[in-house]
Amino acid sequence: MKLQKANALKGELTVPGDKSISHRAVMFGALAKGTTEITHFLQGADCLSTISCFRSMGIDIDNDGRSDRVLVHGKGLHGLTQPKDTLDVGNSGTTMRLMSGILCGQPFPVTMTGDDSIKKRPMGRVITPLTQMGADISSLAGTGCAPLLINPVKEALRGINYPSPVASAQIKSAVLLAGLYADSKTSVTEPYVSRNHTELMLGMLGADIKTVGTTAIVEPNPSLHGEKIVVPGDISSAAYFIAAGLLIPGSEILIKNVGINPTRDGILRVCRLMGADVQVLNPRNTDSEAVSDLLVRHSELKGTEIGGALIPTLIDELPVIAVMACFAKGKTIIKDAAELKVKESNRIDVMAHNLTMMGVPVTATEDGMIIEGGYPLKGAVIDSKLDHRIAMSFAIAALAAEGETEILGAECVNISYPGFYNDLHGLIQ
Ligand code: S3P
């Protein structure tokens, strides 16, 4: 994909449904009794992997793939059946980690694998707490990575209080989901609060689940019931249009129906710190999730420091925030974000390398990066490493850079945003 410097972006758009919420709606809908009707479901490759895994375990799911309405005909907590083959999660870490928690409580053995990227990502972080609960889960190659083999336990899993070493909603959710099958209550305490969609949605479907500070606590064996779930637009997808609107002179973009759950809205807080003109309009609630429209106007940005409790609330937006930092006056420091190294690619190395190729002085650090803003970006050949968030971040950088940029592996945006390039081109004047 080749992209050139763009004129102003103007108009309005609705971004696809939230990836984290779409995954959970399918998974938890499958564990509930009755039908769960999902609207504004994300038809991205990751969420389709979740659908295909649950279909393999006997759950009927109506999805024509064109509309964004999906019906999950759940069979209750004990309604899954043994799949014929290895479950394939594709590129999706959320599918593999959350499903690990669910599968540990099933009365059948199952193996799970995925693509080359997922086979390099750390699964020890879920294997450790699930093993403490008495689960029989192992990495087949002994590397702590997929493929994973999960065997049934003889008796129930044990409820535990797990102090998670990292703020990760995937670890937290895996343990809480296993907790549904445990003999007593289960809790997870995080260093900082990570996204809480699991807690909100399980509560809505009838689980006894609560949060005290940075601890989430779930009671076992609930009777979950199907619900209507309206998925908000994904703030992680909106982030690319926020950045485009801020960076390209003359731009004004209205992004409608964006989820602004406080455990996910860190990019809005960073926009404020950088002096960006982003207005939060018409805030409202769908189900238990907060939603609003975002009006973004081209702005002069200033560098800032991003770390601590803010990091889990914007972890997936850091690549595009790094692009924003290139256009800011002064230095931006991103720290406490070592988790970036174990995403779909090593996002510290890949961002630092690619931004350097475009002429930006960037220093990669152990837990983030330091970016000197204010240097003009020049077009380059960018290897996305098949990481959707890298491809989209550099598409935005390309529109604001001199000359032409070529993005290798650009089609990987299908993981979370199949219509991304169309939506982007639709706004360019
Ligand atoms: C996700 C949690 C985050 C995030 C990922 C989706 C989720 O991962 O990066 O894209 O849906 O729970 P971690 O839990 O590993 O931080």
* Residue spans of alpha helices (H) in 82-138: 93-103, 124-132
How many whole angstroms separate alpha carbon 262 and alpha carbon 264?
A: 5
Strand order in the sheet with 305-306: 305-306, 331-334, 368-372, 362-365
Closest ligand 1 atom, CA of 167?
A: 16
Establish whether domains 2-16+232-427 and 19-219 are of one fold: yes
Closest ligand 1 atom, CA of 24?
A: 11
Class of domain 2-16+232-427: alpha beta
Q: Is 316 a catalytic residue?
A: yes
Only one residue has tokens 């069979």, namely: 75
pTM exceeds 0.95: yes
How many whole angstroms separate alpha carbon 148 and alpha carbon 179?
A: 20
Closest CA to 15 of 293, 321, 332: 293
168 lines ligand 1 (CB under 6 A): yes
Domain coordinates of the chain in residue numbers?
2-16+232-427, 19-219
The domain made up of 19-219 has a fold known as: UDP-n-acetylglucosamine1-carboxyvinyl-transferase; Chain (3.65.10)
Ligand 1 midpoint to CA 169 (Å) = 6
Please give the chain's pLDDT, 429 residues, in tens. Answer: 999 999 999 999 999 999 999 999 999 999 999 999 999 999 999 999 999 999 999 999 999 988 999 999 999 999 999 999 999 999 999 999 999 999 999 999 999 999 999 999 999 999 999 999 999 999 999 999 999 999 999 889 999 999 999 999 999 999 999 999 999 999 999 999 999 999 999 999 999 999 999 999 999 999 999 999 999 999 999 999 999 999 999 999 999 999 999 999 999 999 999 999 999 999 998 778 999 999 999 999 999 999 999 999 999 999 999 999 999 999 999 999 999 999 999 999 999 999 999 999 999 999 999 999 999 999 999 999 999 999 999 999 999 999 999 999 999 999 999 999 999 999 999
Of the candidates 234, 293, 316, 383, the residue annotated as catalytic is 316
**Neighbouring C-beta atoms of residue 248, cutoff 10 Å:** 23
